[in-house]
């Protein structure tokens, strides 16, 4: 079993981005700039956004963090996005999800200028991805593709089972794994909460991508010997042995699945770090396109 080390791969990715950013600055004076919007104070969202802003600093990017109380109206938030769309200094706009219930995710994402959609959630970005055109890929699927590329894992002809059909991860992953590209050319089965015989399906998988948001959902009996396991889950569970009283686990029962796997991503230290790498790579690309 080989661990797919998100820390090592993302460190290498970040050093490449930092170098390219310095070159871009020296040649053109352009400094990539990411604007992040955080509404409310969901602890997980706070942590993700703080980490994204910290990474911007590390890479020599500019960053703007706009924080709003949950009392902000949908229209006010849409106006804020309009301001960022019109600001030439801003290359990428990220609205941390989930948003409060009174604000429509779709309306907000639709408002983002597609040339600044570094999260790759806008219908234009997703449509281009579907057609195989050059565009911003959603950060987590992009990070997973970069991880597979880094380890030279050729998924051509493999049976890839994706568990979870979110717009952010599961659905775009089905497109990327099946398209005629490298990595790609896998035979994809998309599973979700209504799938019957899930275990029978996962047992035939050469690669499983678990993105269902349930702690330790993929158990050893669901996994074929030698399968590749990509764990997208970040779930907090109670743990009395920890000072904080809790710890992070993925959607995969790592302890029991890892001995059967050929490759596996740990949680934390796997896909999560690659997500930030994907976002930063998109932001650098957006800056280059804005010169």
What would the two tokens of residue 64 be?
A: 């703007």
Q: Does 264 bind ligand GUN (CB under 6 A)?
A: no
Q: Specify the DSSP class assigned to residue 96.
A: P
Closer by beta carbon to ligand GUN, 129 or else 261: 129
**Residue 262: other Cβ atoms inside 10 A:** 15
Q: Does 201 bind ligand GUN (CB under 6 A)?
A: no
Give residue number: closest CB to ligand GUN. Answer: 97
Of 133-162, which residues contact ligand GUN (CB under 6 A)? 139-140
CB 225 within 8 A of CB 204: no
Closer by beta carbon to ligand GUN, 202 or else 275: 275
Could you say which of 117, 119, 253, 285 contacts ligand GUN (CB under 6 A)?
119
Q: Specify the DSSP class assigned to residue 164.
A: -
Q: Can you tell me the distance from the alpha carbon of 21 to that of 225, in angstroms, rounded to the nearest whole number?
A: 42
Could you say which of 17, 38, 77, 94 contacts ligand GUN (CB under 6 A)?
94
Kindly write down the DSSP assignment for every residue of 203-253, as one continuous string.
Answer: TT-SEEEE-S--TT-B-GGGS-TT-EEEE---EEEE-TTSTTSEEEE-SB-
Closer by beta carbon to ligand GUN, 6 or else 223: 6
Closer by beta carbon to ligand GUN, 139 or else 228: 139
Q: Does 95 bind ligand GUN (CB under 6 A)?
A: yes
Name the CA radius of gyration of the chain, rounded: 19
Coil, helix or strand at residue 190:
strand
Of 22-41, which residues contact ligand GUN (CB under 6 A)? none
Stretch that binds ligand GUN, among 69-77, 91-99, 202-210, 225-233 (CB under 6 A): 91-99
Q: List interacting residues with ligand GUN (CB under 6 A).
A: 94-97, 119, 139-140, 168, 275
């Amino acid at each position: 079993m080989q661990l797919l080390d998100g820390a090592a791969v993302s460190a290498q990715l970040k050093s490449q981005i930092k170098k390219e950013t310095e070159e871009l600055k020296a040649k053109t004076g352009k400094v990539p700039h990411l604007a992040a919007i955080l509404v409310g104070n969901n602890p997980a969202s706070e942590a993700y956004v703080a980490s994204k802003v910290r990474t911007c600093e590390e890479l020599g990017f500019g960053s703007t963090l706009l924080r709003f109380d949950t009392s902000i109206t949908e229209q006010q938030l849409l106006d804020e996005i309009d301001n960022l769309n019109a600001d030439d200094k801003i290359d990428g706009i990220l609205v941390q999800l989930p948003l409060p219930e009174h604000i429509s995710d779709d309306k907000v994402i639709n408002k983002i200028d597609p040339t600044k959609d570094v999260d790759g959630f806008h219908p234009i970005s997703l449509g281009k991805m579907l057609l195989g055109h050059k565009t911003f890929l959603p950060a987590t699927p992009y990070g997973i593709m970069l991880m597979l590329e880094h380890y030279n894992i050729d998924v051509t002809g493999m049976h890839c089972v994706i568990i979870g059909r979110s717009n952010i991860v599961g659905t775009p992953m089905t497109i990327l794994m099946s398209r005629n590209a490298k990595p790609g050319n896998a035979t994809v089965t998309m599973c979700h909460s209504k799938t019957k015989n899930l275990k029978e399906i996962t047992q035939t998988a050469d690669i499983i991508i678990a993105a269902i948001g349930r702690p330790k959902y993929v158990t050893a009996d669901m996994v074929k010997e030698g399968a590749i396991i990509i764990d997208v889950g970040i779930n907090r569970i109670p743990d009395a042995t920890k000072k904080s009283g809790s710890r992070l686990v993925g959607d995969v029962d790592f302890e029991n699945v890892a001995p059967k796997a050929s490759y596996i991503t740990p949680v934390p230290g796997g896909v999560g770090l690659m997500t930030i790498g994907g976002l930063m790579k998109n932001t650098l690309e957006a800056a280059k396109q804005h010169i």
